[in-house]
Structure 1
Amino acid sequence: MLAHQFCELYNQHRQSLFAYLYSLVTDRVTAEDLLQETSLVMWREFDQFEPGTNFLAWARQVAFNRVRECRRRRQREGMVFSEEVVRQLADERAKMDRHLQDRWDQFQQCLTKLRDQDAELIDLYYANDATAEEVCQQTGRGIHAIRKAIKRIRRSLFECVGRNLPGRASS
């Protein structure tokens, strides 16, 4: 049961955790290595995680400690940012993730406001990764009509997200 919980939470947050690490070390290979180290530590210490709390916040703390250890190793090699710079990068990344999550949540809300016909078109085009030509074949609509509709829907979604983000006055 514990293994299932860990795997489910880890898989749900793996990409965000990698992005966090990558933003701190700015080297893909190092970030991948740190993700592996972090995963092992998280697995060994999963019994210390409080169910119902923020798994990603806990994972970031474990990852941050791995970054600090990596920095210490690199410091001995003479290649390192100051502790303060790394902490600031970590804080900025956390703010960015919150902002991106807010935008994603708002995007999901805006999708629910689309007309059924527009939602179906977006689903065909993006969820199925179809080309405009393939959507034409599936819907019987012309290529120019499809491209124009996709452009209109994207603009509408963009405006909806921007209008409804937390901290912005609604129109």
Structure 2
Amino acid sequence: MRGDEADRLDDERTDPANAERDRAELFLVLHAQNHSRISAFVHTLVPSWQDAEEIIQDTLVVLWRKFDDFDLSTNFFAWAARIAQYEVLNYRRVNRRKRVLTFDDDVLESLAATAIRQLNDIELEREALEICLQKLAPADREIVRARYQSGGDVHLVAELLQRTAGHAQRVLRSIRSSLIRCVQQRMAEIGA
């Protein structure tokens, strides 16, 4: 009976439908993790919001179509940003008359390189902040959550602390200073 179960599992792993589903799930996870950076990258290169959104959609289609070419040992965002950059160039070529603000291709290349560096730095800082938040005392994490969750403000923190708004502001300032030092230290450790 044990052999039958193992054979069934092997069949499921080699079933093309399962492989395609796994491929689609992996793509969706990688895209979800990087969508905001890809979107910010395109918006950096394209002055029109509507044009940028169209390019983002075109980029998504190309990313999916070329996903089999993506090397999983490399950086998905870098790969996606390069494809997005080509989509921007293609969009510019196809819509030459529509352009209001024009950069030549060398300027666009420079902007793209700068945007990728900055977006990578922001992601590293976000990751460092997540680590630093976890290092906070649970009570301090709760204070940060109360302040920065949707609708949170200093008065909510004051209620949580059962103190005045002025006291809450001082506590928040101290926590923010601690987080800033922690993030700066982590960024220095990784050489960013």
> Which stretches in structure 1 are left out of the alignment for 5+ residues?
none
- Could you say which residue in structure 2 is the equivalent of 1:95? 117
Instruction: Give the 5 Å matches for 1:9-158.
Output: 9-75=30-96, 80-127=102-149, 129-158=151-180
Aligned-residue CA RMSD (Å)? 2.4
Structure 2: runs of 5 or more not aligned: 1-21
Larger radius of gyration: 2
Distance 1:42 1:117 in 2: 43
Moved more, 39-48 or 8-17: 39-48
Give the number of aligned pairs: 169
Q: What is the aligned partner in structure 2 of residue 7 from structure 1?
A: 28
Structure 1 length-normalised TM: 0.85
Give the Å deviation of 1:77: 5.2
Instruction: Write the distance in 2 (CA, Å) between the matches of 1:154 and 1:98.
Output: 22
- Alpha-carbon deviations, 1:18-55, whole Å to 9, x = none? 00001111221111110000011111222222223211
- Relative distance call for 1:46 and 1:163 in structure 2 (3 A) is closer
CA distance in 2, matches of 1:8, 1:102: 19
Q: CA separation of 1:78/1:14 partners in 2, compared to 1, >3 Å: closer, same or farther?
A: closer
Q: CA deviation at 1:167?
A: 7.2
Measured after TM superposition, the shift of residue 76 of structure 1 is 5.2
Q: Is the 8 A contact 1:132 1:147 kept in 2?
A: yes
